[in-house]
Chains A and B, each alone.
Chain A
């Protein structure tokens, strides 16, 4: 009888040990899964979904490209987004107001690059891969790009962004662009 009692107590003890082991494994598994999910969503280099505006600066052969992401707000213009990018990425953004021809701001310098007669390049901007000129009617007439009754215009301080937009600044040769304009291929 005593032997059976001892055996039963041993079984009970074994069950307690096994339970402890099972619980420990469950907790470990959960912790590992949590770590994996955290890495997936917020690990190094992860970008939260809330960032819905992208600014890309492409100096091409003159340096490394830079990319910023930010959160869209109502009335945000292409220039606002570029200025925000400048704040976090230290692009060395310098603007010039042109009161005569463009009646707006031009990017004079970024990443230490500016137009010279030798390079014949300018900082030109694109939104969603479309060069923003008066001919970019699909972009300019998009109802989502109207702010307080004002329609978007080609100058970056008057071009209203919408969530998901990618603003791209390319340091480009004027010649290539001119050629396109002559061919009537610019959008």
Chain B
């Protein structure tokens, strides 16, 4: 074989291989999943021993599913050993669905952000079980686009603000607190405001240039490290997400879940969040300072229970009336 032919073969191979890689790359970018047909009615919670765990969609649902499946797998392993239970994982449609589902027993357990917990406690008497411990605590950030000249909280006057769900701590409550402290009236002093379903959508609105400034959870910001954004201010450590159980969840089961969480190995903790140190038990009283904050900022009274619900559930222990 002559050198010429060999070079020709090499070039041909290069072209064919490049094309093959290119077309395979293109084909693999598109993932189509076929939706199976389903009956018009199904039984979700039956007589069998299944625990439904629901996660509030504070971040993009598929990424949340990827993270929290480790908790499902861990609980599956621990609870199957002791109680023969199987844990199912579901990401709720929105904050309100998560509250309703765990409140009404569609889900047995739920991961709720703290403000959503206050509402679920008031409306449905859900039980706080445990919260993850973070290295530096759960902090909220005020983040802004680098090119909008925002260096302090006062600079957000006249800018557009991207909120997360209205029951979000870092995406709504704390930004309102900062505005209040700086005499910024969000109804009049901001150019535009919009509520987004979760932190990922909020950060996307900022990076795309659609919005100027937003409040987000530090852990989410650290994980995504979006470009062209800077941190304007950082909050004090605040209550984080917590695992709650339905009003009527068995006491023995609570003990098993809390024990399993307190014994969680560092590898599983790292998979859930690299900054998690462990889980600690919580009581409703731990959230009284947050109740006061919500009352001051939004004028909502989470100290008072919903009378109908709690009157017919005498065992339901509520926060003291204020």
**Residues in A lying within 8 Å of B, measured CB to CB:** 1, 4-5, 8-9, 11-12, 15-16, 18-19, 22-23, 26-27, 29-30, 33-34, 36-38, 40-42, 44-51, 54, 56, 58, 60, 64-71, 84-85, 87-89, 128-131, 166, 168, 170, 172-173, 176-177, 179-180, 183, 185-187
Contacts and interface: CB of A to CB of B under 8 A. Distances in A.
Nearest to A179: B311
B13 A176 contact: no
B104 A185 contact: no
A67 B105 contact: yes
A86 B241 CA distance: 36
Given A12-B13, A47-B90, A129-B309, A29 B28 contact: yes
B17 to A, nearest CB: 4
Contacts of B52: 45
B106 A37 contact: no
Given A58-B248, A68-B41, 20 more contacts: A1-B3, A8-B9, A12-B13, A29-B28, A34-B33, A40-B65, A42-B33, A45-B50, A46-B90, A48-B38, A64-B47, A65-B105, A68-B43, A68-B44, A89-B46, A128-B100, A129-B124, A129-B306, A172-B312, A185-B311
Interface residues of B, number: 56
A15 B6 CA distance: 14
A186 B307 CA distance: 9
Contact of A185 (B65, B124, B307, B314): B307
A45 B21 contact: no
B106 A67 contact: yes
Contact of A15 (B13, B50, B61): B13
A173 B313 CA distance: 10
Contacts of B31: 30, 33-34, 37
A129 B6 contact: no
Contact of B38 (A1, A5, A50, A176): A50
